[in-house]
Amino acid sequence: MLYTEALEYLYSLTNYERAPTDNYVATLKLDRVRDLLARLGNPHERYRTIHVAGTKGKGSTCAFIASCLRQLGLRVGLYTSPHLNNFRERIRVNDQLIEPEAVAALAQQIREAASDLPDITTFEATTAMGFLHFSNQDVDWAVVEVGLGGRLDATNVITPQVSVITSISYDHQHLLGDTLTSIATEKAGIIKPGVPVVSQSQTNEAMAVIERVARERGSPLTVVGRHWRWSASPPSLTKQSFEIKQVSLIRSKERPFVNDLEGWYEIALLGKHQIENAVTAVAAIDVIRNDLIATGAREFGARAIRDGLRQTRWPGRFQILRVDPPVVVDGAHNVDSANKLAFTLAEVFPGRRWTFLFGTLKDKDAAGMIKALNPRARRWIFSQPSDMPRALPADQLLSIAAQLKIAHATLATNLGQALESIIYNSEEPVCILGSIAFVGEALAHWARLSPTETISVLDA
């Protein structure tokens, strides 16, 4: 099997990323994933894992944790989704994308093992591939991002050393429920009996669910904002610095930092929400420090964690492609992330009004995102990700803008041409957002049109 044939096989399976259905949750069967993994020798049981769920910030938090573990001298697998440009981004070992030959070989194994398993999905097959690749590569740890929800997600077959829950907000309501209680219940489904859980600050409604599930399952709960707190300096265009402390420890002038992971850190990812993601990574690492040491972590302490956070890169998340005039891409795709994007734009580029190049998917709250960002808009350009059945047609976005009485809005049926116009004919600040697929396509066009102004997505 060739790499291209492997992708054809994977995408020929039931693929809810591209075409979700209303009965999506009803079709999910963890027993099916367990059966597939058993046929492959249960590769997910051969290394230790960290499991990360949430509505927003999962990928960034996974990237922070994986980078820190690499700095501790560990061999680390990283499984995330979706990808920006290249399927290989989903499965990495020590930040190296899985090789095309490995994708082909693993896909062949999956196809043979799943030959008589009914209704295997693309994500289930890809998850099994990731777990098998990590086993083949003898990783010490794997950092695993939930695909959707948590309770019935294919990744939820693992028993991790720590479960992590990032920010919970409204998204995928038609699948996960239309209240924060129901959404948080799905996310909290990754909490395993006796396994520590680290959660970001949540709304009272979502936090009540996490606290209840953790209590019922005997899982010690650490909450960022309650047990770990942070304060930040004003950000620059390239980094932001912050100090973190663990709460409820006895301090003195002689010992201002009691936990050795306290102190000042800096990250290249911008936005206050990224600081919270980084602090969440530190809190999770603190919880499992004995496990990390037992698996060979060297020189455990703040220096390695500081280096890991500083070196973390996660393209497509408030990524500045050009400073003057600014061009920013961000994978914001729900109202909460649009609000965070608006705040970060004002913080990093104060006083600017933006041209928003926006494309999103049918199951997203496009109107809510437009309303969240419109106070900072100069004008809107609506487009859509290509080759994506879930894409919301650009003319429908224009209709939504008309209903919201937004006058300065146009269509761009060709994203590449729209970007070319921005690069060569415009001096206005531009922000490109709406979905990971849209941002990934925009980054690919930008790298082709302006190769000297940006870093390759795969090398970032």
29-46 pLDDT tens trace: 799 999 999 999 999 999
> Does pLDDT of 15 surpass 90?
no
Task: Judge whether 409 and 382 are in contact, CB under 8 Å.
Answer: yes
> Does pLDDT of 241 surpass 90?
yes
Q: pTM score, two decimals? A: 0.93
Band of pLDDT at residue 331, cut at 50, 70 and 90: very high
CA-to-CA separations, 219 to 61, 190, 209, 213, 298, in angstroms, rounded: 20, 11, 13, 8, 27
Nearest alpha-carbon partner for 21 in 409, 448, 390, 427: 390
Can you give the pLDDT at residue 252? Answer: 66
CA 25 distance to own-chain centroid: 21
- The more confidently predicted of residues 444 and 19 is 444
Q: Which residues contact 161 (CB under 8 A, 6 or more apart)?
A: 48, 49, 50, 195, 196, 288, 291
> Does pLDDT of 454 surpass 70?
no
User: What integer is the mean pLDDT of 386-394?
Assistant: 87
Task: Judge whether 54 and 168 are in contact, CB under 8 Å.
Answer: yes
Tokens of 99: 């090789």
Specify the amino acid at residue 420.
E
172-221 pLDDT tens trace: 666 677 799 999 999 999 999 999 999 999 999 999 999 999 999 999 99
Q: Please identify which residue in the block is written with the tokens 């809810």.
A: 16
Can you give the pLDDT at residue 119? Answer: 85
> Does pLDDT of 455 surpass 60?
no
3-state secondary structure of 297: coil
